[in-house]
Structure 1
Amino acid sequence: MSTEIRLAGPEEYDAVGELTVEAYTHDGFVRGDYAMTLRAAADRAAKAELWVAADGDGLLGTVTYCPVGSVYREIGRDDEGEFRMLGVAGRARGQGIGRALTERCIERTREQGLRRIVMSSAKYMTTAHRIYERLGFVRIPERDWAPIPGVDLYAFALDV
């Protein structure tokens, strides 16, 4: 069955929010009120770009691409694309969904004529780090940060 990468439709927002929470909760990555932010897929679709991977059986994963001007941007500069909240459904792990969604974000950055894409990832998300590094992302430690105490985020970048 083939996988399609596309923008989420309004009828999918609730399911996308639940998929994102499930993906982060599965790995123990939800702290504090972050589950509410992860669940707010309709808000992300309105203020950023909400991408999904899907097949004939439903949603496989999601990512939020944050164009210049989006309130969802965290570390992106005006000449950089940015993405965040990448999550893959349990049934789809190990099938390249995270990589495909990341590649879509890289392509969106190129489409917008930006020179680089950046993102933040919690220091303990080592599986995700391996995906990013295989795609050519490099750490940019000078832009590491912590949204709340105890949640240390590594910054990554890829020149496109």
Structure 2
Amino acid sequence: MDQGKYIVRNARPEEFSSIGQLLVGAYSQLDGFPKEAEQPSYYKMLANVGDFTEKQNTELLVAVSPTNEIAGAVVYFSDMAQYGSGGTATQERNAAGFRLLAVKETARGHGIGKLLTQACISKAREKGLAQVIIHTTQAMQTA
């Protein structure tokens, strides 16, 4: 699997459900991350990740193979007011952000996460934004 063969594009509405399941699967496997029974509303948000696209200046990006197979996804915010993670991130100005990055288990270790991250950084640069914010927790050491 070569990351050079993958492209990053906006997710299509008919892909939202499968992307949500990708996120649920990835996050539920993280060591130390709360399980669905402990945080059902968080997992509902993951499953319905396509809902983020209803927010202004928010995109759901996917890395897809030449056969259009989704290898990973991330939510990109060109306006931090839409970020929704709590804390001080939403107060950042002249900044973009991304969160909820996940890579399909069979695609891990091939640079898909890096490809998605670089796409977010490129989008921020195109808008002339000064920084890119990432939301992570102790259980997300890979991030």
TM-score, length-scaled by structure 2? 0.81
Matched, 1:116 2:124: no
Matched, 1:13 2:16: yes
User: 1:86 deviation in Å?
Assistant: 0.3
Higher strand residue share: 1
Which residue does the alignment assign to 2:7? 4
Which residue does the alignment assign to 2:70? 59
> Structure with the greater relative contact order (CA < 8 A, sep ≥ 6): 1 or 2?
2
Amino acid at match of 2:63: A
For residues 98 and 64 of structure 1, what CA distance do their matches in structure 2 show?
12
Equivalent residues in 2 for 1:66-81 (5 A)? Answer: 66-68=77-79, 70-74=81-85, 75-76=89-90, 77-81=92-96
Say whether the 8 Å CA contact 1:66–1:73 is kept in structure 2.
no
Q: 1:57 to 1:104 in 2, by over 3 A?
A: closer
* SS state at 1:49 partner: strand
Which residue does the alignment assign to 1:92? 107
Q: Which moved more, 1:27-36 or 1:117-126?
A: 27-36
Instruction: Point out where structure 2 has 5 or more consecutive residues left out of the alignment.
Output: none
For residues 30 and 40 of structure 1, what CA distance do their matches in structure 2 show?
18
* Seq. identity, %: 35
Which residue does the alignment assign to 2:42? 34
Say whether the 8 Å CA contact 1:8–1:50 is kept in structure 2.
yes
For residues 129 and 50 of structure 2, what CA distance do their matches in structure 1 show?
26
Extract structure 1 runs of 4+ deviating beyond 2 A: 28-31, 69-74
* SS state at 2:75 partner: strand
For residues 99 and 30 of structure 1, what CA distance do their matches in structure 2 show?
25
- Count of aligned pairs between the two proteins: 128
For residues 37 and 18 of structure 1, what CA distance do their matches in structure 2 show?
11
Q: 1:65 to 1:30 in 2, by over 3 A?
A: farther
Q: 1:61 to 1:46 in 2, by over 3 A?
A: same
Instruction: Point out where structure 1 has 5 or more consecutive residues left out of the alignment.
Output: 129-160
Which residue does the alignment assign to 1:145? none
Which residue does the alignment assign to 2:52? 44
User: 1:50 deviation in Å?
Assistant: 0.2
Q: RMSD of aligned C-alpha atoms?
A: 1.7
Deviations 1:10-33 (A, max 9, x none): 110111111111111122434512
User: 1:41 deviation in Å?
Assistant: 2.1
TM-score, length-scaled by structure 1? 0.73
